[in-house]
Amino acid sequence: MLRSLSIKNFALIEQLQVSFDAGLITITGETGAGKSLLLGALGLLLGKRADLNSVKNNEAKCSIEGVFDIKKYDLVSFFEEEGLDYEDETIIRREILPSGKSRAFINDTPVTLNSLNALGVQLIDIHSQHQTWEVTTNDFQFDVLDALSETNREIQSYKRGLELLKEKEKEVKSLIKNQQEFTKEYEYNSFLLKELEEAKLKPGELPELEERYETLFNIEEIQERLSGSVSLMSSDDIGILDVLNVIKANSAKVAPYSSSLKELADRIQSVYIELEDINASLGDELDKLEADPEQLEELSRRLQLIHNLQAKHSVSSLEELIKIREELSEKVTMTESLDGDIEKLKEDIVKIESQLDEVATRIHKKRTKALPKLVKELEGILKDLGMPNATFKASLELQEKYFSNGKEVLQFLFSANKGAGFGELKKVASGGELSRIMIGIKAILSRYAQLPTIIFDEIDTGVSGEVAHKMADLMKSMSKNLQVFSITHLPQIAASGQSQYKVFKEDINNTTITQLRLLNDNDRVREIAEMIGGKDISDSALTHAKSLLFN
């Protein structure tokens, strides 16, 4: 509920601070006094687009702030999703800067207009004669029926199932599309894959193959040069090792004479040992060498195969070929398994549809049971509101199609007069009739659901006499379960409020400003008397006003 409202520098409102209680709150005032300005300010507070033209002084900031008691509205999850701090007493603020820039805050945290609007619709519901068209929409009619039939749990279950069904159907369509595309390429991909698999490519094998090929291809030259090197090392005549052995012996003889000669002898010894090892290794390598024309031919074919595959697939490395092989394998495997995957998804869809049908049937039974109750209660309320012959013909028919809230088509037909045919609300009901129907529906809803604060903006236009009393009683009954504001010209409704505020204009320093004031009992008597008999208040008008207020 709206606890307080603060408005600064908005239209004709210079500064306004007002608090509100629970129950029925009536707002009265002459035509043009500024009641629409209050609704305009509330509209901004709840997320409507800002207009710099609505600012009173363009050189100063316009601000509108509302304090709301929201503990009954079950909004904790909304605040968590929006990343906002939840408070039972939540403050919403809207600012329009002189630059024209607009800012919005929830509990002092900046928010977007979308977030503000998403919260606003859960806090205040503004109804005017021009907004009663909502009652003609099928979605609204279903919402009303579901509130009475208490199908919220089933509806949420149905919506989760429907979302899952759409996801599965989307997956099937995607797989069928992929299947059509992959099938066209399947044979070619299979051929390419078979070719690569038969090649039995291994990571890192190419450098080894190339090295072995180079060795066998040049084996005669390698043998000749290694053999020559071994001869130079160990020849009996001028072998390097024999010569170095003599040098080693000479250096060993003189090594004791100085440290430098000792160091030199050690170095010669090291060189001799290293050369001996090299000579042995040369011999080993020479022994391992053996010409093998068949292996050379096999290596040549292997290398040619790899190079041909690289050229065919326009790559420069063996690793890229292996990656292409893996990708082709995935495509071929996917194509081969798509039939099974599609069949599995179709089975899942059948199961989901079966579960949805079961939930939709439960919803249908509850709605069917509640529908006559809704019609009866609404017709009774409309009778009190001066529409004694108003009747509804409502029906629910199960369909094969899955709709957003079930599998039914709701037909809600209306007739205002005896002998008149039934028709859709939007086609046969007048504006005044729609207003009364909307009030009736909201009155019924208030007993079954936690509704936001409702503001009726002169929705009682065209009503008088006993009907006005009935409408006042209806609003008062609603206010037992929620906060109700009524902007009215009817004394019967004005007098029914637990509290009454007056909107009026006054001139201060040659400037016209709009004010809102809470009326005390004496003020209310005079205000209602004026609504009854005009500016010149008579004793009978005062008596009538007191009767409305205190009886």
64: nearest Cα among 106, 4, 5, 2: 5
Classify residue 390 by its DSSP letter: -
Please give the pLDDT value at position 253: 87
Kind of pairing between the strands at 124-128 and 453-457: parallel
Q: pTM for the complete prediction?
A: 0.68
How confident is the prediction along the chain (551 residues), in pLDDT tens digits per residue? Answer: 999 999 999 888 888 999 999 999 999 988 777 788 888 899 899 988 887 777 888 888 999 999 999 998 989 999 999 999 999 999 999 998 888 888 999 999 999 999 999 999 899 988 876 667 788 888 889 989 999 999 999 999 999 999 999 999 999 998 888 777 777 777 778 888 888 888 888 888 888 888 888 888 888 888 888 888 888 887 766 788 878 888 888 888 888 888 988 998 999 999 989 988 988 888 888 888 788 888 888 888 888 888 998 888 898 888 899 898 888 888 777 777 778 888 899 999 999 999 999 999 999 999 999 999 999 999 999 998 889 999 999 999 999 999 999 999 999 999 998 888 899 988 898 888 888 888 899 899 888 888 899 999 888 777 778 888 999 999 999 999 899 999 999 999 999 999 999 999 888 888 888 889 999 999 999 999 999 988 888 889 999 999 999 87
34: nearest Cα among 500, 455, 516: 516
Please give the pLDDT value at position 401: 93
CA separation, residue 42 to residues 1, 6, 240 (Å): 13, 10, 107
Per-residue burial over 296-310, b if 16 or more Cβ lie within 10 Å, else e, is: beebeebeeebeebb
Residues with Cβ within 8 Å of residue 277, at least 6 apart in sequence: none
Question: Can you tell me whether residue 88 is helix, strand or coil?
Answer: coil
Please give the pLDDT value at position 365: 95
Helices 318-384 and 138-149 cross at an angle (nearest 10°) of: 80
Instruction: Name the token pair of 130.
Output: 């021009």
| Residue that is written with structure tokens 């004010």 in the block | 515
Number of H helices, E strands in the chain: 17, 15
Instruction: Name the token pair of 236.
Output: 């009996």
Please give the pLDDT value at position 130: 62
User: Rounded to a whole number, what is the largest CA-CA distance in the chain?
Assistant: 153
CA distance 37 to 44: 11
Backbone angles phi, psi at 534, to 5 degrees: 95, -175
Strand order of the β-sheet with 423-424 is 391-403, 406-415, 423-424
Specify the DSSP element, H or E, that contains 501.
Answer: strand 499-508
Classify residue 104 by its DSSP letter: E
Answer yes or no: are the C-beta atoms of 189 and 345 closer than 8 Å: no
Please give the pLDDT value at position 129: 63
Specify the DSSP element, H or E, that contains 329.
Answer: helix 318-384
Please give the pLDDT value at position 236: 67
Length of the chain: 551
Please give the pLDDT value at position 522: 94
20: nearest Cα among 528, 495, 499: 499
